[in-house]
A and B are shown apart, each in its own frame.
Chain A
Amino acid sequence: MPQSPEQDRMDLRLLERCRQGHLEAFGDLVSRYQSRIHTLAYRMLHSREEAEDVTQETFLNVYRALGTFQGERFSPWIYKIASNLCLDFLRRRRHSTVSLNAPIGPEGDIPREIADETQLPEDVALAGALGLDVQRAIDALPPKYRTVIVLRHIEDLTYEEIAEIMVLPLGTVKTRLFRAREILRVSLARSD
């Protein structure tokens, strides 16, 4: 469910209390967002360790920037910090190693077709939450498509919120989402 205006107002009240020095309010913000941010990071990175690193770094960045936040809603701001950190992790990975399922092609939007029969222990534990084939198909998406898919269908954000988070025109968000779903449809049909 998208966040309600009442939840947005509560976030801003907590943020204001943090700025007034009531730092226990920061704990409330952590409680409200840590699972959502961790889920976003896990689906983007498919690694528990990296997802926890991103979640921790996201809250540290929010804490450091408490005094400078001037937006009207907290939620797009924290998602923006977290998704940018995920993209940084993916960029670093790309530079340090060539992932077996990293996308290829001049535009980086052709999923690789390599059968991988290995399963990480966390894959087995989380397979019930999201089919491993679907997670693997997400892993094979280029980062720019992966971000919109996760924000739209896992975090349940609107096109407008995604446009704000990714600083993109609405039309580009829709185009990327449509393209990403098309790639997922084709790669999941292949794995059937």
Chain B
Amino acid sequence: MKTLYLFVVMTNLSCGQKTDNEVNTPSETTFTAELLVDELEIPWGMVFLPDGSMLISEKSGEIIRFKDGQKTTITNGPEVYNRGQGGLLDMELHPDYENTGWIYFSFASEEGEEKGGNTAIMRAKLNGNSFTDKEILYKASPNTTKGQHFGSRLEFDDQGYLYFSIGERGERDVNPQDITRDCGKIYRIHDDGRIPEDNPFVNESNAKRAIYTYGNRNPQGMVKHPETGAIWIHEHGPQGGDEINIVQKGLNYGWPVITYGINYSGTPITDITEMEGMEQPIHYWVPSIAPSGMTFVTSDKYPAWKGNLLVGSLVFQYLERLELNGNEVTYREKLMEDIGRVRNVRQGPDGFIYVAVEGKGIYKLVPL
């Protein structure tokens, strides 16, 4: 009986992450990081337009178009609330951009009655060097003067639904577990802002109907899996406990009831890391790397990295490469060590990887 007990306990323990959580330093470099766009402050979003130019959103609110080595400032972007971690955040193109012309933004906005701000989603069209046809598609409420956790990332899935993340805005005990409140959620809407009728909480009374998942903390990475089409996110944990999760309809990702992290003060938030009805991450980082930006490598430019996930680290200032076996992380590696705070990483339509670094600019990874 004792043996059986032990067996049960061990099986339970093994439900968590199996592989060790060590990050490796590669023995040889296989690429050079070429600084393509210089002198940027906090380049949060980047999208690649069909004419070969790149649009870059700065947290300050500035939007830059980079083409043939020249920067042009685009005017009439979103009016942003610049406070703490809030400002102009991510950008994404409509899946059929060439015909629709829609560009999507996430940003901190003061719209609403209360003092402060909260995350908003807008779409607009680029006309010359200015944005027109601006439409607010979603605005989280209420506003708050708190400075943290706006979320921000935008991604379309294969069916054309737009997903976006809004962090819990510093109200961890109020927002994430309550579907009648905004914040601490992943949302799903149509490209024009309508709420899909098959969203999980459309029939719950008083629920925020755009909510797709809840119990999230502050997701700042979101990407569609190239093969399964699933939406993958990562989210900042507190001290320790950053997570990678796969977005699934109506599920609860557990913040702050379960977490692998602790308070900044070193005191525990909870010692519970799993609970019935709450999802386990497919990977968690202890210590926190402070992840921002995420992409899958699908191009043929980096044969050894094909199918890998790349994630920026704000706190350790490198780009992390994660090898996967299905949904399991099997190997972690540091790239671009000490480069600076990596805010975003994307694969361009040309197959190259572009990395946005705070205080530096956008690097292009050129294979050797």
Report if A and B associate in a common complex: no
